[in-house]
Amino acid sequence: MKIEREKEFVHQFHYDARNLEWETENGTPETNLNVQFQLVDNLENASEADTAINGLLTFMIVLENLVISGSLSQMNYIRGQVIEDRNELTQDDMQMLAAPLFDLLKRLTYEVTEIALDEPGVNLEF
């Protein structure tokens, strides 16, 4: 699979200190990561022999003292292969398409927590 990628896009990125008192009354948030792939038609950068797929990562990561949440996306062009349904993608294909989004999430989390906490940043492990 030959993939050409556009630059990743940060739609939202939130760093929130946990409010344990609020959580006692309203419930503790849960970590959730969700990757969705959407086939996109009629893009200038894709020929009839290509497939354009937008990957969207939405996340909430609950850590001991903070919560990281938001969404990131990236447009991908699979050159020389027409995919007509998302179900045609294998697990390996989806992991390849999503990898840059997880890398960006790791980097954002590390750098923001490094600044916010004034200590070495939080390393996420996926």
Report pLDDT for 43: 67
Q: Domain for residue 96, yes or no? A: yes
Rounded-to-integer distance, Cα 67 and Cα 51, Å: 35
Q: Is residue 124 part of a domain?
A: no
Inside any domain, residue 7: yes
Q: Is residue 12 part of a domain?
A: yes
Examine residue 126 and state whether it is found in any structural domain, yes or no.
no
| Counted domains in the chain | 1
pTM, two decimals, is 0.90
Residue 125 domain flag: no
Give the chain's residues under pLDDT 70: 42-46
Decide if 53 contacts 39 (C-beta within 8 A).
Answer: yes
- DSSP state for residue 122 in the 8-state scheme: P
Q: Are the C-beta atoms of residues 67 and 60 closer than 8 Å to each other?
A: yes
Question: What CATH number corresponds to the domain at position 103?
Answer: 3.10.420.10
- Domain assignment of residue 72, given as a range: 2-117
At 45 the pLDDT is 65
In a domain, 122, yes or no: no
Quote the pLDDT of residue 48. 80
Tell me, what's the pLDDT at 108? Answer: 98
Q: Give me 40's structure tokens.
A: 């996109």
Name every residue whose Cβ is closer than 8 Å to that of residue 23 and which is 6 or more positions away in sequence.
Answer: 29
